[in-house]
Amino acid sequence: MYNKEQTQHLQEQTLSFLKEQKSEIGIPEVKPLRDVLRFHEYRYYVLNDPLIADAEYDQLYKELVKLEEGHPGIITADSPTQRVSRGLIKAFPKVQHLVPMLSLDNSYDATDLIDFDRRAKELSGLAEIVYCVEPKFDGAGISLLYENDMLVRGATRGDGVVGDDITTNIRQIRSVPLSANFSAFGIQQIEIRGEVLMNKDHFKAYNDLLEEEGAERLANPRNAAAGSLRIKDPREVGRRNLEAFLYHISYVSFLPGVDAPKVLETHSSALKMLWELGFRSPEKEKKVCKNIAEVVAYCEHFERQRDALPYEIDGMVIKVNELAVQDTLGMTTHHPRWAMAFKFKARQGTSRLISVEFQVGRTGAVTPVAKIEPVQVGGVTVGSISLHNEDYIKEKDLRLGDRILIERSGDVIPQVVKSFPELRRGEESVIQFPVQCPACGFPLEKPEGEAVWRCNDSNHCPAQIVEKIIHFNSKDAMDIRGLGEANVRKFYSLKFLKDIPGIYRLPFEQIRALEGFGEKSIVNLQQAIEASKKQPLHRLIYGLGIRYIGETTAKVLARHVDYLPDYTRFSMEQLQELDDVGPKVAESIYQFFHNEKNLSLLQELEGLGLNLRNEKEKLNDTGTLTSQTFLFTGSLKKLKRSEAEAMVEKSGGSVLSGVSSKLNYLIVGEDAGSKLEKAKKISTIQIIDEDQFLAMIGQLKNK
């Protein structure tokens, strides 16, 4: 999209703006400022190769916001500030596609591709046909409409003829340009087809975030992307870091007196045009093949490397490259005759749904888990599968005794694809979701806007109590080794342990009498429990299991008080002024510190000797690593991972959970994994080893 000269000019313009005093950027510079921001969005979201730090981008973005707020008349529809939507979407109107979005004929057998080639030759009268082959992205189909270079509509596939208008949500996807210079090619109106997806790293990071917030993890990247398109809060859509691949021009009209340009004579050149206009087209993944033998070879090559890709694909799409030949071949009522999908070998298996267990988590969420006849799927024996929630069971039309299709995609957990109602023999039964907690009998509730039923009797529900104790002891919380899940459940069943304070009152004389508990293990457990009393405040906060509070937010909370009960004096407004604390998180914190039972728990823990004070574990604003971000990958030789991370934080730096443009340093140990490969693609990240890290903070010892 940008040549070398343009890139250099825009980078120079960037540096010029960054050197300006905040008050010195004026209205005449608004267009260059927007151009600079669009350029850096393209570098970050399309190329994944940023040229400036996130903080620098944010600085320029805020300058544009300030300019536009002071002069509303200068705002344009394609300004970078206009992606962000304010308020909720009330409804998604139905819209008709300019050209129907048909399905693709598909096959799992290369011989079908040879038949496809034979039919295409017969219908076209050609002796040989050139094809363009590209990945079949496993996401959710979309259609974008641009008029006079501006994005005017984004829609779901719907039934292929009519879809939902999701323009506001599409604008949250940063790889979708709000405007593109189609007029340079004489194009007045253009409809483009594509796929919205969530790459594997973003999917994992978002699921980890959901887990920290006490919400249900999403089943797979495809469902995450598809479900995102119809979320009524555009801010939540933006939070999911979706990507859009645009791979087909379905309709185009030209400016008066303009003929179709040569760039639209082939599918491959059309993809190149989209790429050069700033779209994430499969320009880098496609291959033009001069015959069907090359097509088959390329499909087999891509299937072998599918797991190494950053996103999910389930096959390849083969298209006749010459658009004139496509027109000759035409379409059926179901699919085009000029394209075919070659599906990869499915990692699937069939089994029978034997029973459903309803498990209660530490937040009271009730999760149905299917017990199935064990089946091998992708080299793994599957006997249990999460069914997520009641709506999922209804959507899949699952019944006890059903024959079901199981699928594993990449490293994602197994999922139920569908049931086979046509195979039912009348012995199957409807899955009855409980109305009372399966652990304690308390009536279940389903909050408005949520898909999960919950037990709200957290103080008496044995399942929640046990899960809370397990979480409290966990490695990232109080780190009480020797008191893992198995021992917690054993001690609870024997009535040695009934709540979190009970950890510090365990009857060790009675435990000594149990089989499998030698003197050494008893001493180790006692020492681990005693050591946990001195854990820093943020570990205690995380261990308490306050809903929506993960490790990062726990550290934020620990930094802003000297004594944990001080949060009883914070208002909702004061809580929301803290880093990364929004309304939902603030409400959870506020409720926790205004609950008498929780305050009694804190008082009891303090009486047992636990640390409720911030022992100056605050961010060291004058440290040698101030404002720097770090991430560790692989095995370290001289330090434990937790020790290294503590060094960073004590020296003023912060530790990130994944590779992104926000990362300054990746410290690489032995057997480094995918984080290293991803970091190599981001030029701003410095990759160093353990010794270099230790030298940086002055800890390297002379040997």
Active site residues: 136
> What's the CA gap between 478 and 562, in Å, rounded?
19
- The alpha-helical segments, DSSP class H, found in 216-266 are 221-228, 234-239
Would you list the DSSP string of 472-509? HHSTTTT--TT--HHHHHHHHHTTS--SSGGGGG--HH
User: 69-79 b/e with 16+ CB inside 10 Å = b?
Assistant: eeeeeeeeebb
141 Cβ partners below 8 Å, 6+ apart? 101, 156, 157, 193, 194, 195
Phi-psi region of 627 (alpha: psi -120 to 50; beta: other; left: phi over 0): left
674 Cβ partners below 8 Å, 6+ apart? none
62 Cβ partners below 8 Å, 6+ apart? none
Sequence-distant contacts of 365-371: CB under 8 A, at least 24 apart: 365/214, 365/216, 365/452, 365/453, 365/454, 366/434, 366/437, 366/438, 366/444, 366/452, 366/453, 366/454, 366/455, 367/216, 367/452, 368/393, 368/431, 368/433, 370/398, 370/404, 370/416
> What's the CA gap between 462 and 441, in Å, rounded?
10
Q: Which of 376, 418, 426, 433 is nearest to 401 (CA)?
A: 426
> What's the CA gap between 484 and 625, in Å, rounded?
35
Sequence-distant contacts of 502-509: CB under 8 A, at least 24 apart: 502/469, 503/469, 503/472, 503/473, 503/529, 504/529, 504/533, 504/605, 504/608, 504/609, 504/610, 505/608
Three-state DSSP state, 291: coil
SS (H, E, C) 385-415: EECCCHHHHHHHCCEECCEEEEECCCCCCCE
Q: What is the amino acid identity at position 533?
A: K
